[in-house]
Amino acid sequence: MAPRKSLLVYADRVAAAPGETVRFMASSETGSPFDYEIIRVRCGDAAPGGAGYKVDAVAGGRGRVADARRQPVAAGSYAVVPGTWAVDGAFTLQAYVMPTTPARGWQGLIGWWSEPTECGFGLFIDDKAQVLVAIGDGKGEVDVLRAGKPLVAGLWYLIAATYDRDARALRLIQEVQSEHKRLDLDADVAMAPTVRELGRPSVPLTMATIVTETDGAWNAGAFFNGRIEAPRLDDTALDRAAIQALAGWPVPAALEPRVLAAWDFGHDIPGTGIHDRSAHRRHGELVNLPTRAVPGRAWTGAVHDWRQDPTHYGAIHFHEDDLYDAGWTPSFAFTVPEDLRGGLYAARVWNDADESFATFVVRPPRGRASAPIAFLASTATYTAYVNIQWSMLNQASEMRMGGLTVLDADDVTIYERPELGLSAYDLHVDGSPVYYATRRRPCLNWAPRTGLWSFNADTHVTDWLEAKGHAYDVVTDDDLHADGVDRLAPYRVVVTGAHPEYWSTPMWDAMTAYLRGGGRLMYLGGNGFYWRIAFHRDLPDVIEVRRAETGARYWAAEPGAYHHAFTGELGGLWRRVGCPPNRLVGIGTVVTGFDRSSYYRRTPASRGARAAWIFDGLAEDERIGDFGILGGGAAGFELDAADPALGTPPHALVVARSEAHSYYYLLVPEETLFHHPAINGLEDDGVRAEMVFFEGPNGGAVFSTGSIIWAASLAHAGYDNNVSRVTDNVLRRFTDPASF
């Protein structure tokens, strides 16, 4: 097994136009200096027998970082409320809490508390899964009171602590909610405290963490895994009835004058802050994007869209492995020269021990084009796959692949350094789905010289474009989402990569408008336009995925959590929200299989005047793509096919169809209501890819290949093959301004 990487790097932006600057954050685990260079990536395929690793150095883009250092990653989500608190003689601190890993060790719940000075007050979970309240004066006097009954994962509790200095009373209440009361999990304990004056920490009040303070600086740790709802702070020691009343909405008028803070986590769910409904307006901020729009304590199943009734979604799910931004300081920067050719680029960093890449795109400013062709870089899809651990941790991975799992240095690093963040295919440490994926961290598998999937697979297309002499610009998913159809309007044809899987609503609408306006689209992949995603309204470089109800997925969103927190839209398959990809590109996903690949045969429809030009230069009964570096063929891994019932245009032509797939090729869940052992590539004709062509409005057209590995066969035999010929025939006709 390969050793883990010692040199890591990422970029502060996914794309830049001439005159704009990209900053690169690097970490040398050993502190060793490193060199860097900016390269233009034509092809990142360094596999034996592959298309070949082809890069060009950028003039003036080299340098050395002599003062290299290790930069830690501060993973873990929590809330922070700045300011000081007028709490001394008495308080009530309470919240609804649903722990998901109560036995995992010390975890913070809520408090104004500083370690190791033991100053302030707070609610915590200890190493025996018990809730405790701690108070301290910061001078060595500390009182700790435990509930005495361990918490049970997945249950909602009302946790409350009260302190009254004058009455010399410290009390802790643990009250399990709803039908689980019969389990005898409640606790109500009290003690006479020795602390006579609460200390005033210089740290802020926090939730879901324990703060360690050293030399005036503080750090978060001991993160809570689970959900918190309705945190409250009052400056009196309330009785049990008042505690229960304070937990609801609105705050009772009789209690309002003494309430110091009453946070409503159901307010502004798309945002990054927490809202205090008390008169003090002690609003706070969330760090590292804990999960919102999840069912809270009040959720009954009557509401599934949080916008309809946010009171059902008043909880936030915190995780110790949440991450939005690694927070590293820049190590070097690159300003894009005015005359630099557009394309896929990377900063390569290296020393004697290691090498890493941070990729980015150089693209023209909005509204300009330097070529008639736009290659659409699937940056949303790249983001979803960043640092995926599925092949290492899922017991079905080898069965799915039909072979043994082979780990490289990237895999080992991702596994051994979970603080680098998870992908949208993974599970959090508490078993809950990862809904958010970010690229503000080292993106180990979004780089050249990595596996031929996602980004690196797409470099087969850019490599082919350059080998065949096609001038092109690169446009990103982020550009399409932000700028809409205006970003595509200057181009006669848009070419996709191998796997444009994740699409937001603005992206979908932009492509629809482009095609209706006469645009031409070449979909050179499979399993595209599959999952509906959301981009955050305020934070760049992060997407949200909710895998609802069906689809080929590695986790499913829990009931009640199908709607995106970022937008409120229903998540899941585009097919499930009434927009199958068939309506956009004529085909949609039907099959997945990963052991070996196959080939296409032409159909009778390919011989008519409308489509015969696609196959100019090919023999009449020639197998198309019975070669390739991924499984030995051009039809494989994830396959798409036409279906008029799902919106394939009635005039669309299926011009070629794959055949002879293996037993490991199975229909995706949305294609079959009930699994049957005979539905596989050996025994069912429905297991196939279909190549489709159809004309669009205003002289436009669409060509779709239906296979995620079509592009991996383009370079075969020095680009002189029938996969390359078909693709070239279509692209040359699509760039011809003559109307269809």
List of domains in the chain: 7-73+326-361 (2.60.40), 78-318 (2.60.120.200)
Structure tokens at 336: 């894009």
| Residue that has been written with the tokens 């809904």 in this structure | 435
Q: How confident is the model at residue 249 (pLDDT cuts 50, 70, 90)?
A: confident
Cα dihedral 697→700→706→710 (10° resolution) = -170
Confidence of residue 409 (pLDDT cuts 50, 70, 90): confident
Question: How far apart (Å, rounded) are the C-alpha atoms in residues 467 and 723?
Answer: 14
Average pLDDT (208-234) is: 94
Q: Which helix (H) or strand (E) holds 516?
A: helix 505-516
Residue 374 in this model has a pLDDT that exceeds 90:
yes
The whole-number pLDDT of residue 677 equals: 60
Place of tokens 């309705």: 230
pLDDT at site 390: 67
pLDDT for 673: 77
pLDDT for 681: 54
- Tell me the pLDDT tens digit for each residue of 285-314: 999 999 999 999 999 999 999 999 999 999
For 465, what's the count of Cα atoms within 13 Å in the CB-facing half-sphere?
30
Give the tens place of pLDDT for each residue, 111-159.
999 988 999 999 999 999 999 999 999 999 999 999 999 999 999 999 9
Phi, psi of 150 (to 5 degrees): -60, 150
Q: Which residue has the tokens 């409308």?
A: 610
Q: Dig out the tokens for 605 from the structure.
A: 């429809």
Tokens describing residue 607: 């011989």
- Report the share of the chain in percent with pLDDT over 70: 95
Percent of the chain residues past pLDDT 90, beyond the cut: 86
The total of other beta-carbon atoms located within 10 Å of residue 24's CB is: 22
Peptide bond into 193 cis (omega under 30): no
Region of poorest pLDDT, from 216-220, 491-495, 558-562, 705-709: 216-220
Which range (122-126, 178-182, 263-267, 486-490) has the least confidence?
178-182
Nearest CA to 332 out of 18, 32, 65 is that of 65
**Does the structure show a pLDDT above 70 at 421?**
yes
- pLDDT value of residue 25: 98
Q: Are 715 and 463 in contact (CB under 8 A)?
A: yes
Cα separation, 142 vs 130, whole angstroms: 18
Residue 357 reports pLDDT greater than 60:
yes
Q: What pLDDT shows up at residue 391? A: 63
For 204, what's the count of Cα atoms within 13 Å in the CB-facing half-sphere? Answer: 17
Extract the tokens encoding 506. Answer: 């603005």
Within 8 A by CB and 6+ apart from 593, the residues are 402, 636, 637, 639, 661, 662, 664, 665, 666, 681, 687
Q: What is the pLDDT confidence band of residue 472, given thresholds at 50, 70 and 90?
A: very high
* Between 686 and 621, residue with greater pLDDT: 621
Identify residue 608 by its one-letter amino acid code: G
- Residue 395: which pLDDT band, with cuts at 50, 70 and 90? low
Q: Measure the CA–CA gap between 439 and 442, rounded to whole angstroms.
A: 7
SS3 125: strand
Q: How many residues does the chain have?
A: 740
Could you give the CA distance from residue 520 to residue 514 in angstroms, rounded to a whole number?
Answer: 8
What's the chain's Rg over C-alpha atoms?
Answer: 28
Whether the per-residue pLDDT at 709 is higher than 90: the answer is yes
Q: What is the pLDDT of residue 671?
A: 86
Residue owning tokens 């995603």: 533
- Pair 470, 373: CB distance under 8 Å: yes
Pairing state between β 373-377 and 472-476: parallel
pLDDT over 80 at 2, yes or no: no
Cα-based distances in Å from 342 to 14, 145, 582: 13, 63, 31
* Mean pLDDT within 690-710: 98
Residue range 630-658: mean pLDDT, rounded: 97
* Rounded CA separation 688/109 (Å): 52
| Position 729 pLDDT exceeds 60 | yes
> Tens digit of pLDDT for each residue in 522-578?
999 999 999 999 999 999 999 999 999 899 888 999 999 999 999 999 999 999 999
CA dihedral 243, 244, 245, 251 (to 10 degrees): 70
* Single-letter amino acid code for the residue at 5: K
For the cut 80, the answer to whether the pLDDT of residue 242 exceeds it is yes
In whole angstroms, give the CA distance from residue 504 to residue 512.
Answer: 12
The pLDDT tens digits of the residues spanning 585-598 come to 999 999 999 889 99
Query: What pLDDT score was predicted for residue 134?
Result: 98
Read off the pLDDT of residues 52-76 as tens digits, 9 standing for 90 and up: 999 999 999 999 999 999 999 999 9
Single-letter residue type at 72? P
Q: Which pTM value belongs to this model? A: 0.96
How does DSSP classify residue 465? H
Tell whether the model's pLDDT for residue 235 goes beyond 60: yes
Weakest-pLDDT range from 104-108, 213-217, 486-490: 213-217
Ranges 89-93, 391-395, 664-668: which has the least confidence: 391-395
pLDDT value at 685 more than 90: no
Lowest average pLDDT, out of 137-141, 661-665, 678-682, goes to 678-682
Residue 5, number of CB atoms within 10 A of its CB: 22
DSSP secondary structure, 657-676, as one string: EEE---TT-EE-GGG-SS--
Question: What is the distance, to the nearest Å, from the Cα of residue 92 to the centroid of all Cα atoms in its chain?
Answer: 38
Cis peptide before 116 (omega within 30 of 0): yes
DSSP track, 207-269? ESSEEEEETTEEEEES---EEEEEEEEESS---HHHHHHHTSSSPPTTTGGGEEEEEETTSST
pLDDT confidence bin for 8, thresholds 50/70/90: very high
The residue type of 566 is F
Q: So what's the pLDDT on residue 691?
A: 98
Could you list the beta-strand ranges (E) of 29-118.
34-45, 52-65, 78-81, 90-99, 107-114
The burial of 379, by beta-carbon neighbours within 10 Å (0-12 exposed, 13-18 middle, 19 or more buried), is given as: buried
**pLDDT interval class at 398 (50, 70, 90):** low
- Cβ(373)–Cβ(735) under 8 Å? yes
What is the CB neighbour count within 10 angstroms for residue 547?
21
Residue pair 622/722 in contact by the 8 Å Cβ criterion: yes
What backbone phi and psi angles, to 5 degrees, belong to 339?
-100, 10
**Following CA atoms 53, 4, 25, 219 in sequence, which dihedral angle do they give, to the nearest 10 degrees?**
160
Torsion of CA 187, 190, 196, 197, to 10 degrees: 20
What confidence score (pLDDT) does residue 683 get?
55
Nearest to 428 by CA among 291, 567, 563: 291
* CB within 8 Å of 302: residues ≥ 6 apart: 312
User: Is the pLDDT score of 399 beyond 60?
Assistant: no
Q: Which two tokens stand for residue 153?
A: 């994962």
pLDDT > 90? residue 417: no
Reply yes or no on whether the pLDDT at 402 is more than 60.
no
- Segment 505-511 mean pLDDT: 98
* Residue 400 confidence (pLDDT) above 60: no
pLDDT, the chain, mean: 94
CB crowding 589-600: b at 16 or more within 10 Å, else e: bbbbbbbbbbbb
